[in-house]
Amino acid sequence: GWREAVAAAAGALQAGGLVALPTDTVYGVACLAQDSAAVRSIYSLKGRNGGKPLAICLGDVEWLYRYCQVNVPDELLRDLLPGPVTLVLKRSEELNKDLNPFTSLVGVRIPNHPFVRELARACSGPLALTSANISCQASTLTVSEFQDLWPQLSLIIDGGPIGDVQSPECRLGSTVVDLSVSGKFTIIRPGCALTPTVEILKQKYGLIPESA
């Protein structure tokens, strides 16, 4: 069923649809980042403020070099990705101009979840990824928790509950860290992996925290 699910989800995305899927943190909704109409659909689905950027999701670290200007060692990327971390870097010309047109930066996710990574590889381009919930509401850990969104989704991949549904920590989402300024880092959202992320950036790579 795994291959069929990846193929069905890739087909739905390539047809301009929105797909709900499990990640390593919370349930997400994805569309093709290079499809401007689908990106607009995600904003209307969530009732999201148009000024709030969407992250992109890739299958493998190598793809970062295509869509971002990377100014940190490759080893640093591989120490944090795949994992529950969003790295914010300067975007490259390759990325859809209609995705986050108001900023020169982009957040990149490579979730440590085989389904999402397989799907990103199958689409051979970035997915735009956001949490499966109405903006400003709690993140979701089961598909039944975002029932309100079902009618507007092309496909829902049920990967079962993610983490402990009773635990508020499990709903924190990824740790978002801005690495766009050489030698420095800024924590934009503490998320669920703050301590190990900061430890790697400071101890191993000597990056200096900028006060957000």
Query: Which tokens belong to 19?
Result: 């797909």
pLDDT given for residue 211 in this prediction: 66
Asked whether 173 and 139 are in contact (CB, 8 A), the reply is yes
**How far is 89 from 101, CA to CA, in rounded Å?**
15
Number of domains in the chain: 1
Strand partners for 89: 106
The domain containing residue 178 runs over which residues? 2-209
Question: pLDDT digits over 150-159, tens only?
Answer: 999 999 999 9
CA dist list (Å): 86 to 7, 63, 80: 26, 14, 9
CATH number, domain of 160, equals 3.90.870.10
Question: pLDDT digits over 5-35, tens only?
Answer: 999 999 999 999 999 999 999 999 999 999 9
* pTM, full prediction: 0.95
